[in-house]
Structure 1
Amino acid sequence: MTVFCSDKTGTLTEGLVRLKAACDIAGNPSERVLLYGALNASFETGFHNPIDEAIRTARSFDLSPYRKLDEEPYDFVRKRLSVLVATPTTHLLVTKGALANMLAVCSTAETADGTLVELAAVRDAILLQMAQWSGQGLRVLGLASREMGAREGMTKDDEADMTFLGFLVFEDPIKTDVVETIGRLKSLGVTLKIVTGDNRLVAAHVGQAIGLSNGNLLTGEDLRQMSDEALVSRVNDVHVFAEVEPNQKERIILALKKAGHVVGYGGDGINDASALHAADVGVSVESAVDVAKEAADIVLLEKDLGILVEGVQEGRRTFANTLKYVFMATSANFGNMFSMAGASLFLPFLPLLPKQILLTNLLTDVPEMTIAGDRVDEELIDRPRRWNIAFIRKFMLTFGLVSSIFDYITFGVLLLVFQAGVEEFRTGWFVESVISASVIVLVVRTRRPFTRSRPSRGLLVATLAVVGLTLLLPYTPLRGPLGFVPLPPLFLAALLCIVVGYVVAAEVAKKVFYRHVLY
């Protein structure tokens, strides 16, 4: 994963939304605005959300004189929520929502003394007040009402000619450790991008506070006017996307993928489902709605970027260890095949019996099975890597040929120096093949010199155990059924020299290989 996109609420912030103020159009505290906000939040029956919860818990009102008649739930197009309430004197439509969307359905505004004025006369002052709060990172909603006479029901069309009453101002503090966490992600080669429905000023403030904002910010309106090709060219340089609609989140994800990124997306709402599907790695949380959890690839138990950092690191360890196994298995199998095929051309007997080949595979698999828990060098975790078949093929050819060269050296020593018979040849090659394949795991598992990278205890113990067992087999009662014979001490000394030479040659080949083949 090279890019992770996330909303700010609960991920970058504490997620504990609190109603900081309920104010009239002049920005002064207003009991009327607080009461009407409580009516709207208390009578709505849509999905649970922290905004309404914050309003309900800010002040306890006696709402027994009021009765809910109808409701028009929030949606991501209107960005408003309306409730029709029967009051002791009339039926009242109370609406709250994003400020711009609220102003769009209002024709008048109410001052502190209850006087109604034309909205046009105070619009600039309202927007200025909102900008001041938003610049402090506070979220601002608008509140409006309309007298509905004796009507018992309502529709979306009734959200018109309303009276703007004031502001509901919310705060959600930034997490104290989020800057450090973002730094850790950056050190791992993962860029964080904020994708939020909040207004541009709030998003810009949060981005700047956590060190993301570079002056480049795109809004939902900008995205509507931008072609897909233009978005792909801009998406790398923009770290904050604000006032974004649900379908635009998916578009941002797709643009990042077209720009060559592996994209993660974190979301917990209904409106995040399409983006979670589109992302390479969809991440949700246990407290998310069911749709989001079903769309996600990973569900976290806590909404915390720190957990994501640990997940990235563990994923890369797993990937690195998987590659180790692939490198070892492919190069060893290729080398053995090349050696077996070559030996069969000039030997009048099978170089190894089928049961000896199976035993070779069984023993050499023991150290490789411990690779899953092996230690991983820091340089293999510090940046994202992708599956590269071409690199694996080059690795297999390089180290497979090095393995075969020392197999042929072993053949020469057995046939020309020790004049080995059939059973001695098979025993000698079996011992050399298993020991060299087991020891070379310690070399191939790291890009560093093998003496500077400590393997896991399990790998080291398994390697030593296999080497010891292989040396003992020709001297145990099992040698008969397996077709082995005891080896002379001089061959064991020669074997030590061959294995040491193989390790040295593999170290040299590794240094040259990684210098010329990048991954």
Structure 2
Amino acid sequence: MNNQKQITWHAQSAKDVLHSFEVLQTGLSENQVRDRLKEFGKNQLPQTSPKSTVAIFLAQFGSPLIAILVVAAFISVGFKEWLDAGVISFAVLINAVLGFVEEYKADRSLRKLQSFLPDKAKVRRGGAVLNIDSINIVPGDIIILGTGDKITADGRIISSSFLQVNEAALTGESMSVKKDVVPVDIGASIADQTSMVFAGTVVVNGRAEVITVESGERTQIGQISRLVADVEDEKTPLQQQLAVFALWLGGAVLIISSIVFVAGLLRGFAFFDMFKISIAISVSAIPEGLIVATTVILAIGMQRILKKKALVRRLVAAETLGSVSVICMDKTGTLTTGEMSVTEIRFTNGELLESNQRSEIRQILGVTSAALVDENGENPVFSGSPTEIALAKEYWPDREKIGIEKYAELSELPFDPAFKFKAGVYKQNGSTVMFVVGAPDILLEKSDLSDQQRKKMQSVFEEMTERGLRVLLIAKKDLNGQQTEITYDGITDISVVGFVGLQDPLRSNARHTVETAGEAGLKPVMITGDHVITATLVAREVGLLIDESGIMTGLELDKMSDADLIAHIDKINVFARVLPSHKLRIVRAWQDSGASVAMVGDGVNDAPAMKAADIGVALGSGTEVTKEIADMVLLDNNFQTIVEAIREDRTIFDNIRKMIVYLLSDSFSEVVLIFGAIILSLPIPILPAQILWINLITDGFPSVALTFEPPEKGVMKDPPRNKKAPLLDAEMKVLIFIIGLFTDALLFGIYFYLLGQDLAIHHIRTFIFVALGINSLIYIFAVRKFRSSIFRSNPFENLYLIAGVGIGFVFLFIPLVVPYFRNLFEFEALSVTEWLVLLTLALFQLVLIEIVKEIFNLKRNRQLGEYQIKVL
């Protein structure tokens, strides 16, 4: 065999291909098969060694924030702070377990693709026809194909009869492709290589013999599998931001704790006391509730998204949708239903026929049908080419009424791509009739019409075609028993009965969904393997395309450098006639231009691009391969679901930010308060154990309750979140600073005043402890809404928050009321006046925060107005 690479088998004659592989029509010999198995290996997709269970689990501890928490847990154990050590350890364990489950499931996607090929194949070897395991097919094997067969390797057709193949899983094109032995142009794309068949596609009509030219990972689907394997999983925006935040927080805590420790020693405080205070500040400042609460937020968000009929398969990926700015989608099965159907039937004069006027045409469709129907009660199962299935579904409801069984077939001409029609002769009640179904431009020339009549019918056909319909002409001819045998060339003088229009219809809400996505600042992009005309018609119908400058073909894409593509990518709304590698390149070009990309698909051809995208979205009706690879699955196949999922996802990120603002504000107050006392050589205003108890109150139920906050009004008016933006923007940092500064200024002033009143230090520390606790449990109601005032929102909208704050107050009062804990924490009873002062301070702080929020909201609304004008 000639050992050549990248041979364009589709452009060579069948005879030359057989010669190149040194094989006769009788097939390979046993010796040839054995030698080629050694040379080329098994006919299977690339195998990768799965990660070990232990390796996946240990990898979960690589997060910087997790590392900080682990160190904090050990320090807490060393000082016998068992409660804090337990909380931190639990947070670490939960995060590790959930991360392990996510990655373990993700690792299965490639192995799912590896099992995509069928188990058996019919081949000719040594003159005999054998049914062998498909894994043993080698280049040079002659494979015998028939209707319904799944193709096991890439092959060059050497003989065929009415062969049609559905290549939607590979090219994304829903209509079956006519195949024959005729060589095609050397530069033809995969979708145009009609002399070839490809692994993973399905024969829907006819039969053929093909010689295997590529097997295993060298097939087209094998190259897709390799692309999937080669695409590295990148961290999501939230993972990246949490990592940066953890490093920043860890460094800040280390510096602040060290400064407090050194300052205390310089001011004469005992070494051990300062060490305990520094550790308490460190543990308190690190929000160990952040990981657990973030996980809860993501989990709750996933449940909300699930109620919208979208299944998020990866927990951390639940936040990625909020930063999505570009949604790439395949036309077939995404904007369209993915199924051919009869959309209209017209009479010869162009009159649209209603359902009760279609009896004659349905009768002809039923008599000539090549579809197989498995009658299963009220839910029959249709098989065959997409066109034949669509025609069968049209006549099937009237099958008994139109009397199909009365017609006996005398002869038949199956659909032939060369002649573009099918015909048959049938006998019924002593008369003989011929029915013909096929391309109007061919059959009109064979009709009994005058030139004027033919011209009128031609205009009917052209009008239907311009609306994106595939049109079939239905005709008949009474033979009066004079003729039973027919030929393709011998058919003349047929009478036109009508026209049938078929279409892979748009989903009913496709245009509305595209418009909604645009209003949310998202850019929908169609990427399809279909022809330019089809893609253009669909794009215009859904509102994606204004003029033809916004469309690009795969061949045009091949001529562009990566730099040129990135420079022009934002001007292209539709990519047509593309290959799987094109889809991957388009996604990466968008990402290189700074966009966060969601890739929607349903076929194997979408897999590499889906895996490379920031989030891969599969249709529920898609292949198992795409669903395994996807981050999210649309259970109802509804593009609208993506927009709803984005709404929920933006809420997820909002709630994470609210929680961080809440947790850090309290920590900031404690640090500044203690540091100020040390600098002024005053007694420590709050002890380490008291700090940790406050930490338990704020990091516990109230912060977790924030995770249940519903979407705020206006969340979909914001532009997509920049995935490179910091976790905390300027407004969040200002809120943290104001909350902390205000609390510290007031409390420090009160603390200084109380010290001058000759009150016991335990009494003063009790006051400071309660002040910190009440403040944190009150201002959480201001933090829960970024875009609106607490005074204009329903306080009972989140009952979990009410309950969480209630539990927080219970924990606040336990060390004040229960004698054992009161003695343990060295607390004293406060007067009614002191309680009123504490409540007044908390409410005053709440009002101040609302004023700051209102200023920010006025600025945000002005910016949103400018953004919307820019979008429009």
The answer to whether TM tops 0.5 is: yes
Amino acid at match of 1:436: N
1:422 aligns with 2:786: no
Q: Tell me which of 484, 487, 494 is aligned to 2:830.
A: 487
Cα deviations by residue, 1:430-475 (Å, 9 ceiling, x for unpaired): 1010111121112223233322233522213432553466367524
What's 1:385 paired with?
Answer: 721
Q: Tell me which of 128, 135, 145 is aligned to 2:466.
A: 135
Distance 1:41-1:192 versus aligned 2 partners, 3 A rule: farther
1:461 and 1:211 map into 2 onto residues whose CA distance is 47
1:453 aligns with 2:793: yes
Q: Retained in 2: the 8 A contact 1:331–1:396? A: no
1:132 and 1:367 map into 2 onto residues whose CA distance is 65
Q: Tell me which of 371, 383, 394 is aligned to 2:706.
A: 371
Aligned Cα RMSD in Å?
4.3
Q: Retained in 2: the 8 A contact 1:14–1:173? A: yes
What's 1:500 paired with?
Answer: 843
Structure 2 stretches lacking a partner, 5+ long: 1-323, 346-360, 374-382, 397-403, 421-440, 448-458, 473-488, 492-498, 865-872
More displaced stretch, 281-290 vs 388-397:
388-397
Distance 1:491-1:336 versus aligned 2 partners, 3 A rule: same
1:244 and 1:410 map into 2 onto residues whose CA distance is 66
How far did residue 289 of structure 1 move?
A: 1.6
How far did residue 272 of structure 1 move?
A: 0.8
Q: Retained in 2: the 8 A contact 1:12–1:178? A: yes
How far did residue 256 of structure 1 move?
A: 1.7
Q: Tell me which of 288, 292, 295 is aligned to 2:629.
A: 295
What's 1:263 paired with?
Answer: 597
Q: Retained in 1: the 8 A contact 2:580–2:605? A: yes
Q: Retained in 2: the 8 A contact 1:336–1:404? A: no
1:209 and 1:430 map into 2 onto residues whose CA distance is 65
Cα deviations by residue, 1:263-305 (Å, 9 ceiling, x for unpaired): 1111111111111112111101233222222221112222111
1:463 aligns with 2:796: no
Structure 1 stretches lacking a partner, 5+ long: 23-29, 67-87, 99-108, 116-127, 142-162
What's 1:236 paired with?
Answer: 570
Amino acid at match of 1:411: F
Q: Retained in 1: the 8 A contact 2:619–2:627? A: yes
Amino acid at match of 1:198: D
2:615 and 2:337 map into 1 onto residues whose CA distance is 23
Q: Retained in 1: the 8 A contact 2:528–2:535? A: yes
**What's the secondary structure of 1:234's corresponding residue?**
helix
What's 2:334 paired with?
Answer: 11
Distance 1:111-1:405 versus aligned 2 partners, 3 A rule: closer
Amino acid at match of 1:373: F
Distance 1:356-1:313 versus aligned 2 partners, 3 A rule: same
Distance 1:135-1:233 versus aligned 2 partners, 3 A rule: farther
1:266 and 1:297 map into 2 onto residues whose CA distance is 10
What's 1:251 paired with?
Answer: 585
What's 2:556 paired with?
Answer: 222
More displaced stretch, 317-326 vs 328-337:
328-337
2:445 and 2:848 map into 1 onto residues whose CA distance is 90
Q: Retained in 2: the 8 A contact 1:269–1:292? A: yes
Q: Retained in 1: the 8 A contact 2:334–2:639? A: yes
Q: Retained in 1: the 8 A contact 2:661–2:735? A: no
Q: Tell me which of 395, 399, 420 is aligned to 2:736.
A: 399
Cα deviations by residue, 1:338-387 (Å, 9 ceiling, x for unpaired): 22222233355433222211210111122111011113322334332245
Q: Tell me which of 513, 517, 524 is aligned to 1:192.
A: 524
Amino acid at match of 1:282: G
Amino acid at match of 2:571: D
Distance 1:459-1:190 versus aligned 2 partners, 3 A rule: same
How far did residue 131 of structure 1 move?
A: 7.7
Q: Retained in 1: the 8 A contact 2:529–2:577? A: yes
Amino acid at match of 1:15: G
1:170 aligns with 2:476: no
Distance 1:318-1:240 versus aligned 2 partners, 3 A rule: same
Write the mapping of 1:21-32 to structure 2, written as runs, cut at 5 A. none
Distance 1:431-1:59 versus aligned 2 partners, 3 A rule: same
1:411 and 1:291 map into 2 onto residues whose CA distance is 62
Amino acid at match of 1:209: E
2:833 and 2:707 map into 1 onto residues whose CA distance is 37
Q: Retained in 1: the 8 A contact 2:694–2:769? A: yes
Q: Retained in 1: the 8 A contact 2:326–2:596? A: yes
Distance 1:484-1:131 versus aligned 2 partners, 3 A rule: farther
Q: Retained in 2: the 8 A contact 1:138–1:170? A: yes
1:139 and 1:228 map into 2 onto residues whose CA distance is 36
Cα deviations by residue, 1:121-168 (Å, 9 ceiling, x for unpaired): xxxxxxx99986553122589xxxxxxxxxxxxxxxxxxxxx9x9x99
1:378 and 1:467 map into 2 onto residues whose CA distance is 30
Write the mapping of 1:308-323 to structure 2, written as runs, cut at 5 A. 308-323=642-657
What is the count of residue pairs matched by the alignment? 445
1:223 and 1:40 map into 2 onto residues whose CA distance is 38
TM-score between both structures, scaled by the size of structure 1 = 0.72
Q: Retained in 1: the 8 A contact 2:371–2:389? A: no
Amino acid at match of 2:332: T
Distance 1:386-1:454 versus aligned 2 partners, 3 A rule: farther
Amino acid at match of 2:698: T
**What's the secondary structure of 1:175's corresponding residue?**
coil
What's 1:208 paired with?
Answer: 540
How far did residue 400 of structure 1 move?
A: 3.4
**What's the secondary structure of 2:334's corresponding residue?**
coil
How far did residue 412 of structure 1 move?
A: 2.5
Cα deviations by residue, 1:154-212 (Å, 9 ceiling, x for unpaired): xxxxxxxxx9x9x9973122233222222322232222222122222222222222222
More displaced stretch, 395-404 vs 440-449:
395-404
1:278 aligns with 2:644: no
What's 1:338 paired with?
Answer: 672
How far did residue 326 of structure 1 move?
A: 1.6
% identical aligned pairs: 27
Write the mapping of 1:79-90 to structure 2, written as runs, cut at 5 A. none
Q: Tell me which of 404, 408, 431 is aligned to 2:770.
A: 431
Q: Retained in 1: the 8 A contact 2:588–2:613? A: yes
How far did residue 510 of structure 1 move?
A: 3.7
Amino acid at match of 1:242: A
2:581 and 2:554 map into 1 onto residues whose CA distance is 10
**What's the secondary structure of 1:218's corresponding residue?**
strand
Distance 1:505-1:361 versus aligned 2 partners, 3 A rule: same
Amino acid at match of 2:511: V
1:219 and 1:334 map into 2 onto residues whose CA distance is 56
What's 1:305 paired with?
Answer: 639
1:247 and 1:436 map into 2 onto residues whose CA distance is 57
Q: Retained in 1: the 8 A contact 2:611–2:629? A: yes
2:560 and 2:372 map into 1 onto residues whose CA distance is 36
Amino acid at match of 2:710: R
